[in-house]
Amino acid sequence: MFEYHSNAIIVINCGEFMKKKRSSFAGWLWVLSSLVLIIGGLGYYKYNQIKVAIDMAASFPEHYEVVDATYVKVSDHTPTVSVLGSAASPLQSNLSLELSGKVAFVGFQPGEKANAGDLLFQVDISEERARIKSAQARKKHAQSVLQRYQTLLEKKSISQEQYDQAYADLIVVQSEIEVLQATIKQKTIVAPFDGVIGLHDIKLGDYVSANQVLSTFIGDSDKIWVDFSVPQFYPELKISSQIRARNIDYLGTSSFQLATVIAKDTQISDTTRSLRYRAEVSRTLAPYTPNMPLEVLIPISDNKTVYQVPVTSVNQDIYGSYVMKLTALNSEPGAYRAKRASVQVISEINGSKLITEGIHEGEKIATAGAFKLYEGLLVRSKEGTSQQESSLVAAVGE
């Protein structure tokens, strides 16, 4: 009895355990099913949201940018190097006296215009004038004596020696007058040509020394000289060759003007190892003030062909310089796709970049606004002003 009862208890306990296990499994299955349904529902809801957003975005027109555009042009480029020069006037003189003395005459104030021969400065010449007056009286007497001796000599009333002495006395007096007149010239300054007198502070009564520079005098001329030196390791410039010069202003915006080389020094400087040159340019094109510092561009090799584009068309990133080419779309007239093109820039001059690689003549590129473009972007363009083909000269390293 006891053994049967024990087995029955074991059987009853096992049945209860299996019943509880089936109930637990069903609960977990119900939980998992509920989670799957919830996640699936949320996923389906999100999918519909994204699909609606995509369909809505597709219904809008493609984003595009509007930029200015131009076509690549070909130009001749002369590699140059920049050197420092200075302006000089072909008619320029330092005013000084050969003899010292007290100033007795000041003819013109600073900045006034004078004509050739006008009296500018003169020191006291009262002594020379008095001596000339005395010498002129003696000259008149000597001439009278010589005329009488001439008559007497013809009558053989005097000797030839007496006549020669009278003639010599006249020559001595005339020479004395000429010496005094030369002394007056050495104490006088006259305008050597038409021009303008520079700054000075000379007043009546001032004592000035011999060879003291009183002022400068700049003459009227339709030309201006450009003096500059070229290091010896650059090719020598030929007479009549052309260079470019501009004044050095604080903004650096002044334009270059063509000048023609008219002379060069006969030897290289032993201190600077440079050869000095002088060029000439029209004053109407380059109204430079004498001694004004100038930037001079000198050619250092033959011309080469380059591509010319506006400065605004070239941008820079970590990969270097680039431009944005505009490729026309056949399906949409007036629309383009932007394409990045790396370029090699060798110089910049007059608002243009000079390029040797990366683009070709006639290609359309973006100019103003090119910085906001990226590869594949839809672009619409405003036609820019075409660049004129010209001969360009640019400084190496710019």
* C-alpha span between 233 and 324 (Å, rounded): 40
Between 341 and 254, name the one with better pLDDT: 341
- Number of domains into which the chain is organized: 4
Amino acid identity for residue 59 in this structure: S
Residue 3: pLDDT over 80: no
Residue 119 DSSP SS3: strand
Most confident of 36-50, 125-139, 288-302: 125-139
Residue 364: pLDDT over 50: yes
Of 169, 196, 216, the residue that ends a domain is: 216
> In the prediction, which pLDDT does 31 show?
76
Residue span of the structural domain in which 19 resides: 1-60
> In the prediction, which pLDDT does 75 show?
86
Residue 9: pLDDT over 90: no
pLDDT band at 305 (very low <50, low <70, confident <90, very high): confident
pLDDT band at 330 (very low <50, low <70, confident <90, very high): confident
Strand partners, 95: 215
**Same-domain status, 284 and 367:** no
**Same-domain status, 101 and 211:** yes
Of 162, 181, 216, the residue that ends a domain is: 216
**Same-domain status, 270 and 364:** no
* C-alpha span between 259 and 256 (Å, rounded): 9
* C-alpha span between 187 and 210 (Å, rounded): 9
Of 148, 181, 216, the residue that ends a domain is: 216
pLDDT in tens, 268-281: 999 999 999 999 99
Q: Per-residue pLDDT averaged across 329-343, rounded? A: 88
**Same-domain status, 315 and 268:** no
- Mean pLDDT check: name the lowest of 163-167, 300-304, 325-329: 300-304
Which CATH number do you get for residue 225? 2.40.30.170
- Mean pLDDT check: name the lowest of 32-46, 55-69, 95-109, 186-200: 55-69
**Same-domain status, 187 and 149:** yes
**Same-domain status, 171 and 267:** no
* C-alpha span between 36 and 45 (Å, rounded): 14
> In the prediction, which pLDDT does 398 show?
38
**Same-domain status, 133 and 273:** no
**Same-domain status, 43 and 133:** no
pLDDT band at 58 (very low <50, low <70, confident <90, very high): low
> In the prediction, which pLDDT does 389 show?
45
Residue 338: pLDDT over 50: yes
**Same-domain status, 226 and 85:** yes
**Same-domain status, 125 and 162:** yes
pLDDT band at 17 (very low <50, low <70, confident <90, very high): low
Which CATH number do you get for residue 389? 2.40.420.20
> In the prediction, which pLDDT does 53 show?
76
pLDDT in tens, 190-241: 999 999 999 999 999 999 999 999 999 999 999 999 999 999 999 999 999 9
Give the CB-side neighbour count of residue 183, counting CA atoms within 13 A: 17
Residue 390: pLDDT over 50: no
> In the prediction, which pLDDT does 315 show?
93
> In the prediction, which pLDDT does 391 show?
46
Enclosing H/E stretch for 76: strand 73-88
> In the prediction, which pLDDT does 16 show?
62
Strand partners, 320: 317
Residue 53 DSSP SS3: helix
**Same-domain status, 101 and 180:** yes
Most confident of 76-85, 214-223, 389-398: 214-223
Class of residue 72 by CB neighbours under 10 A (exposed 0-12, middle 13-18, buried 19+): buried
Name the H helices within 346-388.
none
> In the prediction, which pLDDT does 386 show?
45
> In the prediction, which pLDDT does 393 show?
46
Residue 178: pLDDT over 60: yes
> In the prediction, which pLDDT does 14 show?
56
- Contacts (Cβ under 8 Å, ≥6 apart) of 184: 125, 128, 129
Instruction: Name the token pair of 345.
Output: 């820039």
Between 101 and 381, name the one with better pLDDT: 101
Helices 160-186 and 126-154: angle between axes, nearest 10 degrees? 160
Instruction: Name the token pair of 215.
Output: 């002022």
- Contacts (Cβ under 8 Å, ≥6 apart) of 212: 96, 97, 100
* C-alpha span between 98 and 9 (Å, rounded): 150
* C-alpha span between 161 and 118 (Å, rounded): 47
Q: Per-residue pLDDT averaged across 68-92, rounded? A: 90
> In the prediction, which pLDDT does 168 show?
94
pLDDT in tens, 276-296: 999 999 998 888 999 999 999
Rounded percentage of the chain residues whose pLDDT exceeds 90: 55
Which CATH number do you get for residue 202? 1.10.287.470
* C-alpha span between 305 and 355 (Å, rounded): 9
Tokens 């050597």 map to which residue? 192
**Same-domain status, 18 and 53:** yes
**pTM of the predicted model over 0.75:** no
